[in-house]
Amino acid sequence: MMEALTYSRVHNAVGAAGAQRRALDEALAWAVRRRAFGQAIVTYPMVQATLTEQQVRWRAGTLLAFEAALTLDEALQVPEQRTWLRLSTALAKYLTAEEAVGSARSTLELIGGNGYTSDYPAARLLRDAQVLTVWEGPANVQALELLRLLAPRYGGFQVYTARLEGILAALPEPLDDLRLALTDRLTGDRQAFKVTTASPDQSQRYARQLLHRLAQSLALALLVEDAARSEGSGDPTPAAAARAYHELLTPPTFGEENRGVRQLLLDDLMRDDRLREEA
């Protein structure tokens, strides 16, 4: 039964990442075509901020989903991977589903009244995304799964920290800022784990918050790992996505966000020739 649930939860995570991408595509296509005050709304900073945030969250969700999918394959050959399979799947299933709903809602809001009507895909995307948080175990069920895996029998937190520490150990020097960001995040994770597991009452009280935190931390780690893989390739987008996601998790002082990072992400979105033609 547990194996069947794991498989279907991985499927749910991959589908949720796909829903995020579809919502982003709909929002981007609308922003390029829709004109207000004499120009396409994609040229306005607030719209650009919406699009780039959706893009970053989609990248994070995709990496989470495929971390679980790759581990599903590995666990067939390496039984020791089964704890990480269950843990990464719980984190991926939870966060991708939540982000799919958020992305669909963001798209509907950007499109406006037309997005709310059934004549456009946005309303259907939002309706369909809602089920992703429900089936194969809603957030509370994933939190309970997390608690089981954190017990000494499984040593789930040690497996989790080993995965993140492995990413940290392989980072090249140009990504030292991301190394510091991920190290700080892992320090906070350890404190959150300590608080949550201090007593049975604490575990029940903080399980869902810990689920949320660890899912976001793993997403950041996977974005950082993706940036490391791309280092030297000439593509700055993966590193920009990792830095932007870190800003979402740890907002900078008001007005001091990294605008260069956001511009790199926007440029990546606008590379589609069809979008440039419509613009």
Q: Do the beta carbons of residue 258 and residue 98 sit within 8 Å?
A: no
pLDDT at residue 172 tops 50: yes
pLDDT at position 268: 93
Reply yes or no on whether the pLDDT at 120 is more than 60.
Answer: yes
Closest C-alpha to 228, from 268, 186, 168, 183: 168
Q: Which two tokens stand for residue 184?
A: 């700080």
Write down the pLDDT at residue 273. Answer: 56
pLDDT in tens, 153-163: 999 999 999 99
Residue bearing the bigger pLDDT, 76 or 153: 153
SS (H, E, C) 61-127: HHHHHHHHHHHHHHHHHCHHHHHHHHHHHHHHHHHHHHHHHHHHHHHHHHHCHHHHCCCCHHHHHHH
Q: What is the mean pLDDT of the segment spanning 260-278?
A: 79
Sequence ranges of the domains in the chain = 2-138+272-278, 142-258
Residue 276 has pLDDT above 80, yes or no: no
Q: What percent of the chain stands above pLDDT 70?
A: 96
Cβ atoms of 71 and 81 within 8 Å: the answer is: yes
Q: pLDDT class for 117, splitting at 50, 70, 90?
A: confident
Sort 32 into a burial class: Cβ within 10 Å, 0-12 / 13-18 / 19+: buried
Euclidean distance between CA atoms 185 and 222, whole angstroms: 13
Per-residue pLDDT for 274 more than 60?
Answer: no
Name the CATH architecture for the domain at 2-138+272-278.
Answer: Up-down Bundle (1.20)
**pLDDT value at residue 79:** 86
| Predicted local distance difference test score (pLDDT) of residue 76 | 86
Whether 22 has a pLDDT exceeding 70, the answer reads yes
pLDDT the model gives residue 279: 46
Residue with tokens 């194969």: 136
pLDDT, mean of residues 220-236? 95
Q: Which residues of 136-155 are buried (b: 16+ CB within 10 A; e: fewer)?
A: bbebebbbbbbbebbeeebe
Structure confidence at residue 198 (pLDDT): 96
Is 93's pLDDT higher than 90?
A: yes
pLDDT band, very low/low/confident/very high, at 262 (cuts 50, 70, 90): very high
Question: Average pLDDT, stretch 44-53?
Answer: 97
CA 211/CA 89 separation, integer angstroms: 11
Q: The whole model's pTM is what?
A: 0.94
Res 1: pLDDT:
52
pLDDT classification of 118: cutoffs 50, 70, 90: confident
Q: What is the DSSP letter of 253?
A: S
**How many C-beta atoms surround the C-beta of residue 184 within 10 A?**
12
Q: Is the dihedral of CA 242, 88, 190, 173 positive or negative?
A: negative
Separation in Å, CA 131 to CA 27, 70, 101: 21, 24, 9
Whole-number mean pLDDT of the chain? 94
Q: Residues 209-218: pLDDT tens digits? A: 999 999 999 9
What is the reported pLDDT for 191?
Answer: 99
Share of the chain above pLDDT 90, in %: 86
